[in-house]
Amino acid sequence: MRSDGGTRGPVEAVLVTGPAGSGKSTLAAELAERLAGWQLFSEDDYWARHGWSGLRTEEQEAVVQAEVVRDLRAAQRSSPGVVVEFILYKRPPNALSAYRAALEAAGVVHATIVLAPPVEMIIDRMRSRGRAGDLADLDGCRAGAEQQLACLDDESVRADLRVGNDSRTAAQIAEAWVAPLQAPARDHL
């Protein structure tokens, strides 16, 4: 496994991102559960805490990202690592570039998992989770998913970081990542 940021050493943070409905929360929870002692941070919790929803302003994004970074850095003092999940809905500068920059500045070795399932898989997930807002506007959700997936076609999202068009469950994806994340430092290039 190759870490994608920070200095050499064992991975201390995993960033899980992708479009809405791609399975970020499910995968992040699986990883945090399987990686003994790791803590999970969901950017959604911070947005909810502020009562912010809908279109996000740059100022709101900056506030939330600063709070997430503060809390994950504090958590790293008492746990072996952190998993952070957040939506990726625009090209850089975005949450991914902000978290990478903050972690690299702090010397935190991190890995990134970018979920990029096909649009139909995202829409199926939205149908099955049954949120009223999604179900009321599946055409809008489809357009949003297409736009968010297009954001992944950016040089900042390396192809080897993407998990895409396959039928693996979150548990299977997590299992594939756990052993490399726990490997000795020499395996992280």
Whose CA is closest to 146, among 36, 7, 19, 32? Answer: 19
pLDDT at 188 over 60: no
Name the CATH topology of 15-181.
Rossmann fold (3.40.50)
Quote the tokens at residue 131: 């949120």
Q: How confident is the model at residue 186 (pLDDT cuts 50, 70, 90)?
A: very low
Q: Structural domain boundaries of the chain?
A: 15-181
Looking at the chain, list the stretches that DSSP marks H as alpha helix, in order from N- to C-terminal side.
24-34, 43-50, 58-76, 95-105, 119-129, 132-136, 138-150, 170-181
Distances (CA, A) of 132 to 54, 55, 121: 15, 18, 18
Q: What are 6-58's pLDDT values in tens digits? A: 545 789 999 999 999 999 999 999 999 999 999 999 999 999 999 998 889 99
Residue 1 pLDDT exceeds 50: no
Q: What is the largest CA-CA distance in the chain?
A: 50
Render pLDDT for 109-127 as a digit per residue (tens, 0 to 9).
999 999 999 999 999 989 9
For residue 5, pLDDT beyond 90: no
Return the closest-CA partner of residue 46 out of 5, 95, 7, 90.
95
pLDDT tens digit sequence for 62-88: 999 999 999 999 998 999 999 999 999
pLDDT at 148: 94
pLDDT at 187: 38
Whole-number Å distance between alpha carbons of 13 and 101 = 13
Q: Residue 157: how many CB atoms within 10 A of its CB?
A: 20
How much is the mean pLDDT over the chain?
89
Judge whether residue 185 has pLDDT over 80.
Answer: no
